[in-house]
Amino acid sequence: MMSRYLSSKFRNLEPYVPGEQPQDMQRYIKLNTNESPFPPSPKALDYAAQNTRSLNLYSDPNSAELTKALARTYGVEPDMVLATNGSDEILNFAFMAYTDRENPALFADVTYGFYPVFAELNGSAYETIPLRDDFSLCIDDYIDKKGTVFIANPNAPTGVALPVSEIERLVASDTSRIVVVDEAYVDFGAESCIPLTRKYPNVLICQTFSKSRSFAGGRLGYGIGSGQIISDLNAIKYSTNPYNINSMTSAMGIGILSDEAYTRANCRTIMENRKYTVEGLEKLGFKVLPSSANFIFVSSDRVEGGQFYSILKEKGILVRHFTKERISNWCRVTIGSRRSMEAFLKAAKEVLDEKL
Amino acid sequence: MMSRYLSSKFRNLEPYVPGEQPQDMQRYIKLNTNESPFPPSPKALDYAAQNTRSLNLYSDPNSAELTKALARTYGVEPDMVLATNGSDEILNFAFMAYTDRENPALFADVTYGFYPVFAELNGSAYETIPLRDDFSLCIDDYIDKKGTVFIANPNAPTGVALPVSEIERLVASDTSRIVVVDEAYVDFGAESCIPLTRKYPNVLICQTFSKSRSFAGGRLGYGIGSGQIISDLNAIKYSTNPYNINSMTSAMGIGILSDEAYTRANCRTIMENRKYTVEGLEKLGFKVLPSSANFIFVSSDRVEGGQFYSILKEKGILVRHFTKERISNWCRVTIGSRRSMEAFLKAAKEVLDEKL
């Protein structure tokens, strides 16, 4: 796969594998990449039509207006915000800035699969720390460790969330250690750690427009942290890709932020659909982890995870299955529209019935 | 500036400084960041309106349709093309993949100022090789060196171009060495090395939609090289930011490629305006390097470079001045509309008149 030219530092690099995007996507109910079933707020297009900078000109490398809008939304100062090309970019910047050969990244054994890739990419040491048997994260496992901690909260692919008080305990325990909280899914019922960024110099929150704000195709994420953290990450950004956000995405992002009521209403709908789906699955005898995200993690004693995924795919429903041993008996199912979840429950019932 | 948390590997990092973007930009004729004075092809918007994937869904991580359109445009196979978030991203990927502590980057002392930043960012060794006194590049200086060569052709900020035959001599001299040709400005009168990618495994061409295609605000670049090079760079991309291009930019890029006649006509106009500007400057006694780009590099015995920049700015005309010693007596001037260049020539004449 790799050429004889490639730097030997990447010999062990195993790229991240995004959720599949079949060419004949129309045939599927797509519950595999945690997208929103709703379009972005109509204000996105309205605002972009009025305010997109001429496209022959470079986008604003500071994304100043967008940054101000994010700061207003979260009650922080603009110099505590960095907008990025999706939240993978801010996460990569954090791995670059705050991990290396001596200072390892610390994260759970079951979490966002990109973390070990970022660590490898940047030549950083890393250590994975097992979740408890119920897939909950024990903060005490991290308190005495040296390294930069990455916590997805709610966690992926489990959906399990920690309260802010637990994360604050870790942040406060040693302010010489950076804690990165990846809140891609926080708007579906978990608590955000953003308020901690005004109290502590050593915490970075990463969020995205891809989930609750229905803008995965626009590629927009951001980090919120102390001024000094954001200054570090800006130095990285200006050494990588200064014009990282295009003008259309930037303008649409501001439009979306002007319509938080729309976002909150969509999140409520997703949470209702989640409740509906979980109840349906439990009635059928499935195990479902308690989720604060726009997806659920599902398993059954009666059908192995990989098989559940495959049979659902034959039935036209795409969910995500990970082959990693500890979770190979589970599937991650995105919560979509009520109609999609009805179709999913019907198919899930059929899978079990066929197994009888 | 940098926090106590930042990895020591970045102690010497000096981020790239993009051309200034004053808040009161309307007051200026902006000839400082090599943008096009024309809007992107109207086909960009037409195509995007019909073909942009729903924005709540992730963009295609393979950018398959855009990649095919680029391959068609340049007569190569799709697996020889990688689309990126601007050409800075493909350049950074090339530094990541093909330079390290042992294998240095080799580039001219006067060239795109981002190359040393990319090298520092990636912890790579690098060596700068002086241009000749007339700012031309001597290929023989590179033939016996070990390392990955980066050549901007035409060069920035000088505008001076090499013929393909010279670059081919370097590529062919040692196929175990990668040669990266940064052709951001190639469409304004230089020769492209893309045909070499079908003959040699060791050459990568980087281009952009930001200049000749008037789409700097959309953030779109690409690399063209042998299948094995593109495979390496894809491994890097999938370890960094798989969904690197948003859906709107991708669709608009395809629209722009469907209208190459528009691009070529704009390039001809810029080349005519360049000729007009150079003749005007030479009549006034300025020195201008021979340019194959959408900018010219200008100096005068009668006004120092930094001063020329400052007085022009007072007069409402923004050009770019670099403080680096060897070129501190020069200014880089983007070629814009005829009207802008008339205003620039008028102001340039005034600067000299005031100096009498």
CATH of the domain at B111: 3.40.640.10
Any domain includes A14 = no
B2 interfacial to chain A (CB closer than 8 Å)? yes
**Residue among A173, A256, A210, A252 at smallest CA distance from A91:** A210
B235 and B266: one domain?
A: no
Last residue in a domain, options A210, A242, A258: A258
Interface of B with A in 6-35 (CB under 8 A): 6-10, 13, 15-18, 21, 30, 33, 35
Calculate how close chain A gets to B285, using CA atoms only, in Å: 31
> What is the model's pTM?
0.96
| pLDDT bracket for residue B19 (50, 70, 90) | confident
Quick one: residue B155, left, alpha or beta (phi over 0 = left, psi -120 to 50 = alpha)?
beta
Q: pLDDT at position A85, please?
A: 98
pLDDT at B52 over 90: no
Any domain includes A7 = no
Task: Test B85 with A88 for CB contact under 8 angstroms.
Answer: no
Q: pLDDT at position B2, please?
A: 86
Which residue of A44, A96, A228 is in closest CB contact with B3? A228
A89 and A155: one domain?
A: yes
- Averaged pLDDT score across all residues of chain A: 96
**What is the rounded CA–CA span in Å between residue A69 and residue A220?**
13
Q: pLDDT at position A22, please?
A: 77
**Residue among A191, A185, A182 at smallest CA distance from A211:** A185
Burial group, residue A325, by CB count within 10 angstroms (0-12, 13-18, 19+): exposed
A293 and A252: one domain?
A: no
pLDDT at A355 over 90: no
- Alpha helices by DSSP H, listed for B238-335, are 247-257, 260-284, 305-314
Domain containing B23 — which CATH number? 3.90.1150.10
H or E element: which one contains A355?
helix A338-355
A233 and A330: one domain?
A: no
Q: pLDDT exceeding 90 applies to what percent of chain B?
A: 94
Write out the residue range of the structural domain in which residue A125 sits: 42-258
What residues of A are in contact with residue B242 (Cβ under 8 Å)?
A: 15-16, 18, 88
What residues of A are in contact with residue B240 (Cβ under 8 Å)?
A: 88, 92, 121
A5 interfacial to chain B (CB closer than 8 Å)? yes
Which residue of B10, B18, B40 is in closest CB contact with A242? B18
pLDDT at A12 over 90: no
H or E element: which one contains A48?
helix A42-51
Alpha carbon distances (Å) from B155 to A70, A113, B148: 39, 41, 17
B75 and B181: one domain?
A: yes
Q: Which of A87, A204, A240, A263 has the highest number of chain B CBs within 10 A, making it the mutation to test binding with B?
A: A240
A209 and A339: one domain?
A: no
Average pLDDT over residues A200-206: 98
H or E element: which one contains B81?
strand B81-84
pLDDT at B355 over 80: no
Any domain includes A71 = yes
Interface of A with B in 81-120 (CB under 8 A): 85-86, 88-89, 92, 96-100, 103, 117-118, 120
B209 and B141: one domain?
A: yes
Q: Which residues contact A185 (CB under 8 A, 6 or more apart)?
A: A34, A152, A154, A156, A159, A211, A292, A293, A294, A295
Any domain includes A253 = yes
Alpha-carbon dihedral of residues A27, A30, A32, A35, nearest 10 degrees?
A: 150
Calculate how close chain A gets to B6, using CA atoms only, in Å: 5
Any domain includes A309 = yes
Last residue in a domain, options B236, B258, B280: B258
A131 and A252: one domain?
A: yes
- Averaged pLDDT score across all residues of chain B: 96
Q: pLDDT at position A251, please?
A: 97
Q: pLDDT at position A30, please?
A: 94
The count of structural domains within chain B is: 2
Any domain includes A6 = no
pLDDT at A31 over 80: yes
* DSSP secondary structure, B144-171, as one string: T--SEEEEESS-TTT-----HHHHHHHH
Q: pLDDT at position B14, please?
A: 93
What residues of B are in contact with residue A238 (Cβ under 8 Å)?
A: 15-18
What residues of B are in contact with residue A247 (Cβ under 8 Å)?
A: 217-218
Calculate how close chain B gets to A225, using CA atoms only, in Å: 12
| pLDDT tens, residue by residue, B296-343 | 999 999 999 999 999 999 999 999 999 999 999 999 999 999 999 999
Any domain includes B1 = no
Last residue in a domain, options A211, A230, A258: A258
A205 and A186: one domain?
A: yes
B74 and B208: one domain?
A: yes
B284 and B181: one domain?
A: no
Lowest-confidence pick of A32-46, A206-220, B17-31: B17-31
Interface of B with A in 315-354 (CB under 8 A): none
Average pLDDT over residues B114-135: 97
| pLDDT tens, residue by residue, A123-172 | 999 999 999 999 999 999 999 999 999 999 999 999 999 999 999 999 99
H or E element: which one contains B334?
strand B330-334
Any domain includes A1 = no
Using alpha carbons only, what angle is made at residue A309 by residues A305 and A310, rounded to the nearest 5 degrees? 115
User: Closest residue of A to B213, CA-based?
Assistant: A56
Which residue of A56, A238, A245 is in closest CB contact with B214? A56
Calculate how close chain B gets to A102, using CA atoms only, in Å: 9
Calculate how close chain A gets to B355, using CA atoms only, in Å: 33
pLDDT at B195 over 90: yes
| pLDDT bracket for residue A305 (50, 70, 90) | very high
**Residue among B54, B41, B85 at smallest CA distance from B254:** B41
Centroid of chain to Cα A169: 23
ipTM of the modeled complex: 0.96
A180 and A324: one domain?
A: no
CB A119 within 8 A of CB A14: no
**Cis amide linkage into residue A154, ω under 30° from 0:** yes
